[in-house]
Amino acid sequence: MQCSVNILKSFVVALFLSTLGCGGNGLPEGETGTVTGTVTFKNAPVPEGTVIVFMMDGGGHMATDTTDAAGKYELLMRNAPQVLAGSYSVGVTPPLPDLGLTDEEIMERGMAGTLPEQPKSDIPERYQSAETSGLTFEVKAGENTIDIALAE
């Protein structure tokens, strides 16, 4: 039960930060690249809608996306496919069930602690936060393909 609450809190925080845009519509100064890839667990694609969060080390910047049915993603930073070059810690959060709510309603309920329980996920809990996953990647200027293979 605690795991589900932590997952929902992580998702709500990511959603909240992405709606803030970190202070504007444009990217911060610096070199950028595009980031695409595939996320797998036990050699199979993660479920559609799995949330990928790249948190820039020491910078407070975040890039996110959700996977498609094949586990593929393309990161967005401030709603654009350009991501600042640098080192990132990565979290992989299972998809939320369809709650029939808007993003704003999910954020409000998450902050109030009134979201329903999330079904158990096969993705180990340690991966569900960029702080505990142990997943780190370097984004370079230009095109980046970052495939993420999760282990048990």
- Number of other CB atoms surrounding residue 98 within 10 Å: 7
Tell me, what CATH number does 8's domain have?
2.60.40.10
pLDDT of 14 reads 52
- Number of other CB atoms surrounding residue 91 within 10 Å: 23
pTM: 0.75
Q: How many domains would you assign to the chain?
A: 1
pLDDT of 5 reads 43
Dist CA 14 CA 2 (whole Å): 18
3-state helix, strand, coil in the chain (%, to 5): 20, 35, 45
pLDDT of 16 reads 46
Dist CA 71 CA 44 (whole Å): 8
Q: In terms of residue numbers, what domain contains 24?
A: 2-150
pLDDT of 26 reads 66
Phi, psi at 55, each rounded to 5°: -105, 120
pLDDT of 37 reads 98
Q: Which residues of the chain have pLDDT under 70?
A: 1-27
pLDDT of 95 reads 87
pLDDT tens by residue, 99-127: 777 777 877 877 787 777 777 788 999 99
